[in-house]
Amino acid sequence: MDNAETFEKVALPHLDAVYRAAVALCGRRQKADDLVQDTFLKAFERFASFQPGTNCKAWLLQILRNIWIDQLRRKKVAGQELPLAEQIIAERNHDNEIVWSNAEDLIENFSDEQVIKALSELPEDQRLTLFLIDVEQLSQKDVARITGVAEGTVKSRTSRGRAALKERLASYARKMGLMGP
């Protein structure tokens, strides 16, 4: 079995997971396609450094994340940061937090596009972390390795990301008349 064949067998089964992560990062499918292609080509170049038996999906997602960061740096485009006021909302003490008593029912009213859009509006670090934890269901340890931060940071980013996502969804819900102002 040649190198390309081994790579295809080991890495390509994770194509959908890498694609979903790319959509989570880019928000646009066309751009996500290019990012995924770059990721697999870069991974193929570095395939010699991949240790068989380790988590290939995490390895690919780490490459994806690095390429994405490089692209942001090159274009000097900051991630779509939330305005400061909203970050404060996301990080506020939850003594004042309104807990949705009917969370499941409320959330089912949103379309997939709305949920993905709400995610894409989060700051880059929260967006990827929340995606990896909630959608790909990776462990905090794997996510820490992918994003290059400590596990504690992963926890706080996930928590802040989830709170910020809730705020976004709440704003949609208000516009849709599902919640009071």
Partner 1 sequence: MNHITDEQFEDILEGKDMGLAHLRQCQKCRDRLAEKKAIAERLRSAFGSMQASPDLADRICHKLNTTTTAATSEKSMQRVSLSRHRRQLWPALAAAAAILIVLVPLSMYFGTSSTARAAQAELVEIHQENLGPDREFFSDAEPEKLAEYFKSELGFSPAFPCTGHGMAIRGCCVAHFRERIVGSYVVDTPQGVISIIVVTDTPRSIGMSRMLERTRSGETCWKASFARCSMVTVRLGDYSYCAVGEISHKYLLELISRLLS
In the window 16-45, what residues touch partner 1 (CB under 8 A)? 16, 18-20, 23-24, 33, 36-37, 40-41, 44
* 143 dihedral zone (left: phi>0; alpha: psi -120 to 50; beta): alpha
In the window 74-93, what residues touch partner 1 (CB under 8 A)? none
Instruction: Give Cα 115 to chain centroid, integer Å.
Output: 12
Binding mask 118-137 for partner 1 (x = CB under 8 A): -x----------xx-xxx-x
In the complex, minimum distance from the CB of residue 141 to partner 1, in angstroms, rounded to a whole number? 10
Is residue 71 a contact residue for partner 1 (CB under 8 A)? no
Quick check: 157 and 146 in contact, CB under 8 A? no
Tally the C-alpha atoms within 13 A of residue 105's C-alpha that lie toward its C-beta: 5
Gap between the Cα atoms of 164 and 42, Å rounded: 33
Name which of 22 and 62 has its Cβ closer to partner 1: 22
- Out of 58, 61, 63, 169, the only residue in the binding site for partner 1 (CB under 8 A) is 169
Supply 161's token pair: 């990301």
Nearest to 114 by CA among 34, 173, 180, 181: 173
The one-letter code for the residue type at 12 is L
- Out of 10, 89, 116, 178, the only residue in the binding site for partner 1 (CB under 8 A) is 116
Compute how many other C-beta atoms are within 10 angstroms of the C-beta atom of residue 117.
14
Residues near partner 1, by CB under 8 A: 2-5, 7-8, 12, 15-16, 18-20, 23-24, 33, 36-37, 40-41, 44, 94, 97, 99-101, 103-104, 107-108, 110, 112, 115-116, 119, 130-131, 133-135, 137, 139-140, 152, 155-156, 158-160, 162-163, 165-166, 169
